[in-house]
Amino acid sequence: MPTLAIQANKVGAGLVINHGHGTFVTAKEIGENCLLDQMVTIGYNNESVPPTIGNNVTVHVGATIVGEVHIGNNSIIGANTLVIADVPSDVTVLGVPAKIIVARKPAVPHRQSITNPKKTNDAS
């Protein structure tokens, strides 16, 4: 029996698996720049659709994510957490079952530079 197994329809660039022993992943999609620690389980419960993991998600040691749930972008799943419902973007969840313990504001987009905000035809 393998100690690391991954099955997903789509895996984004930048997936990092730390110490992958005991890690089993069956996901609809895994976004970009995700980090999975050891002993993580992601997969089915009694439903036919596995979880979807967003971009920049961190899943810490021993966490379990099951069922047709969506993990939002930039979220952190704490160690030994059980996720059985959707997790919004930009939060940290912890516990059995998972509860939001930290909610962060999304990153502010870079300010666009305005090179010529108002063009005038001043001939003087």
21 annotated active-site? yes
Q: What is the pLDDT of residues 81-96, one digit of tens each?
A: 999 999 999 999 999 9
Domain coordinates in residue numbering, the chain: 4-103
Active-site residue, from 19, 21, 60, 70: 21
Give CATH for domain 4-103.
2.160.10.10
> Whole-prediction pTM value?
0.82
Burial of 81: CB neighbours in 10 Å, binned 0-12, 13-18, 19+: buried
pLDDT digits (tens, 9 = 90+) for 103-121: 988 665 544 444 444 444 5
CA-closest candidate to residue 87, choices 122, 45, 119, 56: 56
